[in-house]
Amino acid sequence: MPRGEFLLEVRCEEIPARMVRRATQDLGSRIFQELLNRKLTPREIETGFTPRRLAVALKGIPGREQDRTEEIVGPPASIAFDDHGKPTKAGEGFARRCGIEARDLERVKTPKGEYAAAVVTTEGRPTLEVLSELVPKAIAELNWAKVMTWGRGVGPWARPVHGIVAVFEGEIVPFELFGIQSGATTCGHPVLSPKAFQVAGFTSYRKKLGKLGIEVNFEERLSKLEVGLSDAAAELGGIVVDDQPLLERLTAMCGTPGVVVGKIDEKHLELPREVLIASLRDHQSAFTVEREGELLPAFLTLMDRADDPEGFVRRGNEWVVEARLEDAAFFFGEDRKKTLAEHAAGLGRLSFHEKLGSYADKTERIVELCKFICRLLDWDDEAQTAAEVARLMKGDLVSEMVREFTSLQGIMGGVYARAEGLDEEVWRSIYEQYMPQGTTDSIASTRVGRVVGLADRIDSVVGVLGIGLTPSGSKDPFGVRRAAQGVVRIALEGEMELDLDLVAARAYKQYGDRLEESAEEVLAIWRPFLFDRIRHILGLEDFSYDEIEAALEVGATNLPDLRARVAAIHTVRDEPGFRSVVLAAKRIANILKGVPEQELRADLLSEPAEKLLYQSYQKLKDEIKKAEHEKRYEECLRTMTSFADVLDHFFVEVLVMDENPDVRNNRVALLQAIQRSLSRTAGLTAVVVERADATEGKQGNG
Amino acid sequence: MHSFQDLILTLSQYWTAQGCVLQQPYDLEVGAGTMHPETFLRVLGPEPWNVVYVQPSRRPADARYGENPFRLGKHYQLQVLLKPSPAGVQALYVQSLEAMGIDLSLHDLRFEEDNWEAPTLGAWGVGWQVMLDGMEITQFTYFQQAGGLALDPVSAEITYGLERITMFLGRKRSLYEIDWVPGGVTYGQVRHQDEVEFSRYYFELADVEFLRTQFDGNEREAVRCLEAELALPAYECALKCSHLFNVLDARGAVSVTERVGLIKRVRRLSVACAKVYVARREDLGYPLLAAEPAERGHSAEPGRPGEPGEPGVEIT
């Protein structure tokens, strides 16, 4: 019985793989935090789990809480004590309330005079007692993605609980939860090793379970399974087709990571690779094995036991896989009886969204939006192919195969188009329509694929926002954020020089009267989502926050152009003078805040510094305009930088807020004109620079 | 034991020995054993109920003209309902597999998350699909809500897919090769014509207008029954609507927007039936509460051996 160690195990019915890992960590840190709050800080924490048990071990916990001494100040001494220094009735009452003898009352000096005081010592409670109070709460209050009740309304928890081990320094921490009394007894696998046994500490707990073949440590189990899988693959002369999410899911689904090796009938290798992999993964949670890129007629999967003495597990899995692949072959054959175009003709029966119409309606909208996008981009060569792809791209949604394996949407359409002998550009664009899915995979490899992917996503986002289904917090059931991210990545990495606002507006118009929000409202909601994704994605490219903000202030939704602006600021910001022009721009913005537009009259300029500024501005204006037009943004910024000295000189020599209103307004007008030029490339005022007091002139806030 | 009828007999015997009432299939077309009033209505309210029955279950859209070796327009479920769910229900289930002759010390048995939801019934539950050597053999659900009502006590529902289990244990390549009788009549000989003819009916022949009229008529009738507070007749009409909807859907006669509307109409009926049923049981003074044995202690649930803290063969 290790000193200071607390072992907790909650045994229950099988907790879903997607929840159990986080819940265990959560349980551990809740108890840790509660102990910390009571100054019973554990030195070490370890957690482990299987589908049927959550285990937490906390080590190095002090045996009891520290005693607490506090001084309670009572009535003034003159009231609490009589002339002889004996406690009065009031003094006795105070002592009683504090739980001490009246003769133990003390006197303390305070700024307000002398007072009676009671020094009260609260004895710290034994840790065992503290644990028996806080642990059941921590278990009951775990956050689950989904909870249930059982029996006569017991719960809620993820699944019914059957046993609790709670042992501190070898002694049972007593409590009751869900009708279960905590104890020191657990058991192994319910069928293979059901015999109950006693546990005293985490080490013996792990050891005893280990003897039964049960490993509670997730990482240990994962690496065992990984080794088991790759050994099995090597024996077959191949390697495992990598699938980390599947590996983690399987690890969370067992206590004993056994590997099943099964054979596949050679004839099924005629099925497309994608179908084989998806069928094995989605239906059988099984890995495929490949050699030099070719799948081998075998699969690997998990069993929650160490061995398969009679081969039942292998044969069972093989039988199911065979049935599944027969099924897949049947679906494939059925689907191939129709062309993809014929499948697409049935999209009228598949709802995209109750209010947004069917997939046939969506297809029509995507076709038109593709044409529009190609026109904006001057991609004449792609326009026709994009429209052709758009007509076919959703066809696989009504195929048998995609109904069975939703993960194959798009891919199946591509496979069928390829099998029909359509052009590579066409089938590839269909195949890759859902790319990218995240931040690390690539975008579609063809221009057409990018056009249709962009059109599809913008159509969805505008539609979903248009019927008021704006995502909030972690709730995004229609994947608006992911779609927006796809839009940003496709436009950026696909170098699609077009104004996304125009595309969104067009997408809105195509919905006719289906949408409930106004076009302005939809654009107003759409932009923050887009900008949010732009910030995220450009942030990944090592641009800093203020560089991105500055470019966003120009408001452009032409993303490659936006990116060029960000890059220009990134390059120029450390060049000499840039800081000054940013500060000048900020000062101008300050002066002009809330000032109405004024007319600039050259003849009213009198002071040399302002005349000089005006002349420089004339030159600057044209240079910036020209460079902007040619998208030479670094040059724009450098031109502005060269202007900093003249501006600084002006602010030192000239008072904008002249007493004569005509002079004042004219100077304001000059600054307004300059502000327009300086704001063309990026919002300079958003760039973060250190302030230097030396350049602060005599200008106040206008 | 690899025949269809032996499986039915064994499971019925096992569960009746655990105290279940042996019921018979509901004499209407239903999509699943859950829709039998013995489950859908009995899970409501405070009364205990333990029952086992076979329910032929119709899924018109899954019909395949008797040509697909794995799919049927009608399959057979063996349904067990235990209310309230006993603490040892999982162990009871495991023992039922052993009763089927499966030596679990040689197999891989896993419970994988699979939650269940039936929009037309306003019902949902959480649970698992039970996998034996990689094959799904059972749906195991703790009912949380039915007819839009939260359930207390909670029922455990165990649904065995009889064809799949027999097929799996007998290592058959097709459903139709299953022995219905040991070494005798096959599943195909009993049912193949049924599958072929109903596939033609569902996909080619069913008269859409007639079905719609029937749907509307049954809905009206259900409402009349509800007004008279006749929960069971009303529920029958709702079940008919549900099946008619399934046939219309398989026939390709239900448009995208209509689909949502029809599901809502059926749901409205089943939710209303649930309410009336609960009220009627209350009026009757919950007759089954009286029949219930004295409150059982936590460790004294049927089939739950051992003391608390001594897990025995219980599933944990």
The secondary structure of A409-473 as a DSSP string is TTHHHHHHHHHTT--HHHHHHHHTTT---SSSSPPPSSHHHHHHHHHHHHHHHHHHHHTT---BT
pLDDT at position B170: 87
pLDDT of residue A698: 42
State how far the Cα of A24 lies from the Cα of A46, in Å rounded to an integer. Answer: 10
Distances (CA, A) of A190 to A510, B104, B158, B206: 60, 10, 19, 50
Can you give the length of chain B in residues?
316
pLDDT above 50 (res A588)? yes
Q: Looking at residue B162, what is its pLDDT?
A: 96
The residue type at A237: G
Rounded to an integer, the average pLDDT of A434-457 is: 93
What's the CATH code, domain B207-290?
1.20.58.180
Please report whether residue A551 resides in a domain. no
How far does the CA of residue A415 sit from the closest CA of chain B (Å)? 23
How much is the pLDDT for A56? 97
Task: Find, among A65, A52, A58, the residue nearest to A189 by Cα.
Answer: A52
Among the residue ranges A283-297, A568-582, B8-22, B195-209, the one predicted with the least confidence is A568-582
Confidence of residue B256 (pLDDT cuts 50, 70, 90): low
A470 in Cβ contact with A537 (< 8 Å)? no
The percent of residues above 70 in pLDDT, for chain A, comes to: 98
Which pLDDT band holds residue B1 (cuts at 50, 70, 90)? low
Chain A, nearest residue to B83 by Cα: A151
Chain B residues close to A284, C-beta within 8 Å: 134
- Tokens standing for A352? 């995209």
pLDDT at position A1 is 60
pLDDT at A287 over 90: yes
Confidence of residue B254 (pLDDT cuts 50, 70, 90): confident
Residues B135, A312: C-beta atoms closer than 8 Å: no
Asked if the structure places residue A393 within a domain, the reply is yes
**The pLDDT of residue A601:** 87
Say if residue A576 is in the same domain as residue A479: no
CB atoms within 10 A of CB A662: 11
How does the average pLDDT of chain B come out, rounded? 90
Closest residue on chain A to B255 (Cα): A349
Q: What is the ipTM of this complex?
A: 0.90
Contact at CB, A305 and B108, closer than 8 angstroms: yes
In this prediction, residues B133-160 reach a mean pLDDT of 96
- Looking at the complex, report in whole angstroms how far the Cα of residue B92 sits from the nearest Cα belonging to chain A: 12
Taking alpha carbons only, the member of B4, B138, B162 closest to residue B74 is B162
Helix (H) or strand (E) holding A156: strand A154-157
Neighbouring-strand partners of residue B109: B132
Q: Tell me if B108 and A316 make a contact (CB, 8 A cut-off).
A: yes
The span from the CA of B266 to the CA of B239, in Å, is 8
Answer yes or no: is A109 within a domain: yes
Residue A555 has pLDDT above 80, yes or no: no
Q: Chain A: give the shortest CA distance to residue B227, in Å.
A: 32
> Which carries the bigger pLDDT value, residue A37 or residue B295?
A37
Residue A603 has pLDDT above 90, yes or no: no
Which of A672-681, B12-21, B103-112 bottoms out in mean pLDDT, i.e. has the lowest? A672-681
Closest of A125, A301, A325, A163 to residue A225, by C-alpha? A301
Residue A700: inside a domain? no
Residue B77's pLDDT band (cuts 50, 70, 90): very high
Chain A CB contacts of B135 below 8 Å: 316, 319-320
* A272 and A373 share one domain: no
Extract long-range pairs of A535-544: CB within 8 Å, 24+ residues apart.
A536/A485, A537/A439, A537/A485, A537/A488, A537/A489, A537/A492, A538/A563, A538/A566, A540/A439, A543/A567, A543/A570, A544/A570
Beta bridge partners of A69: A121
Q: Which residues of A touch B134 (CB under 8 A)?
A: 260, 284, 301, 313, 316-317, 320-321
Residues A115 and A31 in one domain: no
Interchain pair A153, B153: CB under 8 A? yes
A419 to chain B, minimum CA–CA distance in Å? Answer: 24
State the CB neighbour count (10 A cutoff) for residue B10: 16
Domain count, chain A: 5
Q: Which two tokens stand for residue B256?
A: 């995208």
Tokens found for residue A451: 């056009």
Which residues of chain B have a CB within 8 Å of the CB of A327? 68, 70
Do the Cβ atoms of A319 and B168 come within 8 Å?
A: yes
Domain map (residue ranges) of chain B: 4-204, 207-290
* Distances in whole angstroms, Cα of residue A86 to Cα of each of A75, A78, A106, A690, B150: 14, 11, 11, 69, 67
In what helix (H) or strand (E) does residue A122 lie, and over which residues does it extend?
strand A113-122
Q: Which residues of A touch B125 (CB under 8 A)?
A: 148
Task: Identify the closest residue of chain A to B112 by CA–CA distance.
Answer: A16
Which chain A residue shows the shortest CA-CA distance from B169? Answer: A316
- Sequence-separated (6 or more) residues with CB below 8 Å from residue B41: B231, B232, B235, B273, B274, B277
Find the CB nearest B128 among A14, A162, A190. A14
Out of B105, B256, B257, closest to residue A192 by CB: B105
Q: Tell whether the model's pLDDT for residue A694 goes beyond 50.
A: no
Provide CB contacts within 8 A for A516, sequence distance 6+: A355, A466, A467, A468
- Please state the rounded mean pLDDT for residues A164-191: 95
- pLDDT tens for A102-138 read 888 888 888 888 999 998 888 899 999 999 999 999 9
One-letter amino acid of B8: I
Mark yes or no for CB contact B314/A194 under 8 Å: yes
Write down the H helix ranges in B170-304.
187-200, 208-227, 231-250, 256-283, 287-291
For residue B177, give Cα distances in angstroms to A322, B68, B135, B191: 16, 12, 18, 11
CB contact under 8 A, B113 and A17: yes
Residue A364 lies in a domain: yes
User: Do A480 and A365 belong together in one domain?
Assistant: yes
A519 and A614 share one domain: no
The answer to whether the CB atoms of B313 and A260 lie below 8 A apart is: no
| Chain A residues with CB-CB distance to B93 below 8 A | none
Instruction: Indicate whether A312 pLDDT > 60.
Output: yes
A267 and A352 share a domain?
A: no
Rounded Cα gap, residues B73 and A43, in angstroms: 62
pLDDT for A301: 97
Strands (E), A312-443: 351-353, 357-358
Q: Do B133 and A326 touch (CB under 8 A)?
A: no
Q: Which of A14, A53, A151 sits opposite B153 (nearest CB)?
A: A151
pLDDT band at A654 (very low <50, low <70, confident <90, very high): confident
Provide the mean pLDDT of chain A. Answer: 91
Give the other-Cβ count within 10 Å of A427's Cβ.
22
DSSP β-bridge partners for residue B79: B53, B159
Q: Which of A254, A321, A330 sits opposite B68 (nearest CB)?
A: A330
Nearest chain B Cα to A314, which residue?
Answer: B133
Specify the CATH number for the domain of residue A570: 1.10.730
Residue B99 has pLDDT above 90, yes or no: yes
Q: Are residues A662 and A576 part of one domain?
A: yes
- Residues of chain A with Cβ-Cβ distance to B142 below 8 Å are 148-150, 160
Q: CB within 8 A of A143, min separation 6: which ones?
A: A23, A26
DSSP SS3 for A493: helix
Strands B49-58 and B21-22: parallel
User: What is the pLDDT, as a whole number, of residue A692?
Assistant: 54
Between A and B, how many CB-CB pairs are < 8 A? 164
Q: What is the mean pLDDT of residues A645-656?
A: 88
Confidence of residue B292 (pLDDT cuts 50, 70, 90): low
Instruction: Judge: B112–A323 Cβ closer than 8 Å, yes or no.
Output: no
Within a domain: A702: no
Query: Which residue of chain B is at minimal alpha-carbon distance from A250?
Result: B112
Q: Say what percent of chain B tops pLDDT 90.
A: 81
How far apart, in whole angstroms, are the C-alpha atoms of residue B62 and residue A78?
93
pLDDT of residue B298: 42
Q: Which of A168, A160, A212 is nearest to A52 (CA)?
A: A160
Among A454, A343, A434, residue whose Cα is nearest residue A392 = A343
Probe site for chain A from B43, B100, B108 (most A CB atoms < 10 A)? B108
Contacts 24+ apart (CB under 8 A), B93-96: B93/B130, B93/B138, B93/B140, B93/B158, B93/B315, B94/A190, B94/A191, B94/B313, B94/B315, B95/B14, B95/B303, B95/B313, B96/B11, B96/B14, B96/B15, B96/B158
Using the predicted structure, report yes or no on whether residue B301 has a pLDDT greater than 60. no
Q: Which residues of A touch B313 (CB under 8 A)?
A: 190-191, 194
Query: Is residue B80 left, alpha or beta, with left meaning phi > 0 and alpha meaning psi from -120 to 50?
Result: beta
Q: Do B256 and A351 touch (CB under 8 A)?
A: yes
Of B70, B106, B306, which is closest to A323 when you measure between CB atoms? B70
C-beta separation of A363 from A391 below 8 A: yes
Assessment of whether the complete model's pTM goes beyond 0.95: no
Amino acid, single-letter form, for residue A677? S
Inter-chain contact B108–A348, Cβ cutoff 8 Å? no
Question: ∠A182-A143-A473 over CA atoms, to 5°?
Answer: 175
Do A527 and A635 fall within a single domain? no
CB contact under 8 A, B153 and A190: no
Q: Judge: A196–B252 Cβ closer than 8 Å, yes or no.
A: no
Instruction: With CB atoms and an 8 Å threshold, state whether B126 touches A315.
Output: no
Banded pLDDT at B169 (limits 50, 70, 90): confident
Are A358 and A327 part of one and the same domain?
no
Q: List C-alpha distances in Å: A603 to A281, A613, A614, A649, B228.
A: 79, 14, 11, 21, 94
Least confident of A244-248, A273-277, A502-506, A601-605: A601-605
Question: Peptide bond preceding B302: is omega within 30 degrees of 0, i.e. cis?
Answer: no
A221-225, A428-432, A522-526: segment of lowest average pLDDT: A522-526
Which of B108, B126, B260 lies nearest to residue A148, judging by beta carbons? B126
Assess if residue A550 is contained within a domain: no
Contact between residue A509 and residue A522 where contact means Cβ atoms under 8 Å apart: no
Helix (H, G, I), strand (E, B) or coil at A289: strand
Distance (Å, whole) CA A315 – CA A297: 15
Residue of A184, A312, A327 lying closest to B107 (CB–CB): A312
Q: Which residues of A touch B259 (CB under 8 A)?
A: 351
- Cross-chain Cβ contact B311/A194 below 8 Å: yes
Residues A130 and A116 in one domain: no
A606 near A663, Cβ under 8 Å?
Answer: yes
What CATH number is given for B4-204 in this structure? 3.30.930.10
Q: What percent of chain B has pLDDT over 70?
A: 91
Q: Under a CB-based contact definition with an 8 Å cutoff, are residues A212 and A174 in contact?
A: no
From chain B, pick out residues whose CB is under 8 angstroms from the CB of A209. Answer: none
Q: What is the DSSP letter of B204?
A: I
Residues of the domain holding A631: 559-695
Residues of B in contact with A149 (CB under 8 A): 142, 144, 152, 154
Q: Which of A405, A415, A247 is nearest to A324 (CA)?
A: A405
Give mean pLDDT, residues A179-188.
96
Strand partners, A387: none
Please tell me whether residues A533 and A397 are part of one structural domain. yes
**Given an 8 Å threshold on Cβ–Cβ distance, is A151 in contact with B84?**
yes
Asked if the structure places residue A80 within a domain, the reply is: yes
CA distance A476 to A64: 47
Of A179, A260, A312, the CB nearest to B106: A312
Whether residues A323 and B315 touch (CB distance < 8 A) is answered with no
At residue B302's C-alpha, the angle toward residues B296 and B304, to 5°, is: 100
Helix (H) or strand (E) holding A56: strand A53-59
Give the separation between CA B194 and CA B188, rounded to whole angstroms.
9
Residues B62-74 have a mean pLDDT of: 90
